[in-house]
Copies of this chain bind each other. A is one copy, B any other.
Amino acid sequence: MYFKMFKAQGLAHLSYMLGNQGSAIIVDPKRDIEEYLEAAQAEGLKIEYILETHRQEDFIMGSAGLQAITGAKIVGGSHEIFNHCDLNLKEKQTLEVGNFTFKVFDTPGHTPESVCYALYLQDKEQCWGVFTGDALFIGDTGRTDLIDPDKTKENAFLLYDSINKKLKPLGEQTLLFPAHGSGSVCGGALASYDRSTLGFELGYNPVFTMSRDEFARHKLHERIPKPPYFELMEEINLNGGKAISGAPSNIEVLSPEMLKEKTKSNGVIIDTRLPEAFASGHIEGSYSVWLEGLAVFGGWILEEDTYVYLVMERESDLEKSFEFLSRLGVGKIKGFLAGGFEAWRDKGLPIEASGYIPVSKLKDGWDDCLIYDVREINEYEDEGHIPGSRHCYVGHLEDCIDEANIPHDQKIVVTCTVGHRGGLGTSIFLRKGYKNVHNLAGGMKAWNQLNLKTEGAQ
């Protein structure tokens, strides 16, 4: 028996490959499928089944691409969203592969079509593990506001019942294999570990420790932003996603002059260096999105066909950047700046800078500045914020600025948890023509380390 968990950075998406008697099964594949193909070849396994727990909304699925190459059968539940599947399993129907028996359970709540697959090993009566998709995470559950924010509560009830009535009976011994794991850039209540059991979750996961009503209130309180590209995903994933086109090695190498020319009329520049480097100097008009952040925030600032030009710390970051945007299915990387920002700088081309201020500086004065906290609303409200700071989630900042009508010479400080989203926020202000914009070094983490005053912490 072969078992491997694949973790995609940034989204912290988890997918799985199981092998048995020469056959491999992939659960919830990501779009960049090379890893699966290579692992299967190295193990001498033929990929025969692709199991989908639900239609993913935060990345393009790899089912269609994998099927095109391997001929594997796509398996889903019985909801019409699974119409693209080759095999639609109804509640409690089973799929046998070698010594494995997968048993399907309809577990709506996160999305209406969600299913879980309980895996039984040969001759063993008890369930070994369960693939839960976005229904049940370690320490958390999937959001219930996604399909219709007005039905968050109803969906929370649905989810509560799905998990308590269908998964809980699988037994405390059951290993948990969800579709998202620790380390998501976006924060959230997921545990910091990627191994757990149903029994362990019983002790502290809200879906088990709360009453049905408490749980619904808890979900209502979540208010997680929904990036604009989710709608695109939903459409593409109706067909099991689509294969990646292009390759990082095909991306054009640009000189500073060529970059200038290319971006004159079309496309955006994304600077993937760390916020400190961006603050000292960068190309005017560029977004600051640190490398790992691209995996998430690319989905907020790019549309499917936006032309993207990269300014990177190291040329070897190109592959990861390509991978991150490919998963989201947004942006077309048309080129990168050869030699990075240094090449631009050494040509004497115009450099823009922003401020980067330590917490110590902000606390002593700067009364005249306007502080924007660009974290999620729950982080702002529940974890405390700097007194007097305004809130606007970084993904909505462009609109906020347009509405706020602030004079362009106003001194602005942007903050988040440690300064990454703050860097993006800073670059958005700069793009809007603000000249006196500063990123708070270390963000709220540094602020709290110094025990400075906050408002609103629970």
Contact = CB atoms under 8 A, between A and B. Distances in A.
B253 A45 contact: yes
Given A199-B199, A346-B449, 16 more contacts: A41-B251, A44-B253, A124-B200, A125-B203, A171-B172, A171-B199, A273-B277, A274-B342, A279-B280, A345-B441, A346-B443, A346-B446, A348-B360, A348-B446, A348-B448, A353-B358
B276 A315 contact: no
Interface stretch (A110-118, A190-198, A402-410): A190-198
23 contacts: A34-B249, A41-B249, A44-B253, A45-B253, A45-B338, A69-B250, A123-B204, A124-B203, A124-B204, A128-B193, A172-B173, A172-B199, A174-B200, A274-B342, A276-B276, A276-B280, A279-B280, A280-B280, A345-B358, A346-B418, A347-B442, A348-B446, A348-B450
Contacts of A356: 280-281, 353
A339 interface: yes
A341 interface: yes
A173 B193 contact: no
Interface of A: 1, 3, 22, 34, 37-38, 40-47, 69-70, 121, 123-126, 128-129, 171-175, 182, 191-200, 202-204, 249-255, 258, 273-277, 279-281, 313, 315-316, 318, 336, 338-339, 341-343, 345-351, 353, 356, 358-360, 418-419, 441-443, 445-450
B274 A44 contact: no
Contacts of A346: 418-419, 442-443, 445-446, 449
A37 B194 contact: no
B445 A348 contact: yes
Nearest to A45: B253
A46 B253 contact: yes
A446 B43 CA distance: 21
Nearest to A352: B358
A441 B351 contact: yes
A257 to B, nearest CB: 9
Given A249-B34, A341-B276, A3 B348 contact: no
A186 to B, nearest CB: 18
Contacts of A348: 359-360, 442, 445-450
Contact of A173 (B123, B173, B351): B173
A195 B277 contact: no
Contacts of A275: 280
A197 B182 contact: no
A58 B447 CA distance: 46
A448 B203 CA distance: 49
Contacts of A195: 3, 129, 175, 195
A14 to B, nearest CB: 14
Contacts of A443: 346
Contacts of A203: 124-126, 173
Given A281-B356, A442-B346, A318 B41 contact: yes
B255 A446 contact: no
Nearest to A33: B249
A348 B198 CA distance: 39
A96 to B, nearest CB: 17
Contacts of A192: 1
B44 A338 contact: yes
Nearest to A47: B253
A37 B315 CA distance: 12
B182 A198 contact: no
Most central of A46, A124, A197, A249 by chain B CB within 10 Å: A197
Nearest to A246: B69
B339 A44 contact: yes
A175 B197 contact: yes
A22 B338 contact: yes
A200 B128 contact: yes
